[in-house]
Amino acid sequence: ALMLIVFAGMLALYVFHSVWVTSEAYSSPSIVLAAKSADGSSIIFDDYREAYSWLRHNTPPDAKVMSWWDYGYQVSAIANRTTIIDNNTWNNTHIATVALAFASAEAQAIKVLEMLSVDYVMVVFGGLTGMASDDMNKFRWMARVAEGVFDGNKTVAGIRPIVY
């Protein structure tokens, strides 16, 4: 009888642990992120959903949105807006063109935006909330992608990438 009670207790702990892992690790949607602060309290990042909702309700239906490729499918599906690049990363030159716009000075980036007929630019900034996966932390990769395609001999919209 004691073995049966121990076995039932272990089974109950296993089920409890499995439900907890599923709820914490596998059930979090990618547009609403959850994290723990230093004091252990929960932080909810709902910025993506709010941004997509804003785009859907405050921009014309034919607006073209430029963001880093990570957000392309979500902008297209949730905001119902045309994206310049998306998660289908087969066109490295097109991704590098957007990377060049993000990594260039404003006066140079405007030329790229005009060439691509961009209406809105979506930039993710998590500095105030401590979200580490914002576009500022992806900047090094944007510069590398742009430099990898547009070396010193190639230009887009009349500009060459700056090597950082």
The CATH number linked to 87 is 3.40.50.12610
Q: How far apart are CA 107 and CA 159, in angstroms?
A: 10
In a domain? residue 73: yes
Question: Pick from 131, 53, 66, 65: which is nearest to 104 by CA?
Answer: 66
In a domain? residue 5: no
State how many domains the chain has. Answer: 1
Q: How far apart are the first and last CA of the chain?
A: 70
Q: How far apart are CA 101 and CA 107, in angstroms?
A: 10
Percent of the chain whose pLDDT exceeds 70: 90
Q: What is the pLDDT of residues 143-155, one digit of tens each?
A: 888 888 887 655 5
Question: What residue type is assigned to position 127 of the chain?
Answer: G
Please check the confidence at residue 157 and state whether its pLDDT lies above 70: no
Per-residue pLDDT at 29:
63
Please check the confidence at residue 115 and state whether its pLDDT lies above 60: yes
In a domain? residue 66: yes
Write out the H or E segment, with its range, that includes residue 64: strand 64-66
Residue 27 pLDDT class (50, 70, 90 cuts): low
In a domain? residue 42: no
Question: Pick from 113, 100, 106: which is nearest to 145 by CA?
Answer: 100
In a domain? residue 76: yes
Reading the block at residue 121, the tokens are 């630019």
> Does the model's pTM come out above 0.75?
no
Question: Pick from 19, 49, 18: which is nearest to 34 by CA?
Answer: 49
Q: How far apart are CA 43 and CA 36, in angstroms?
A: 6
Average pLDDT over residues 79-88: 94
In a domain? residue 48: no
Average pLDDT over residues 52-73: 95
Q: Which domain holds residue 71?
A: 61-149
Per-residue pLDDT at 11:
95
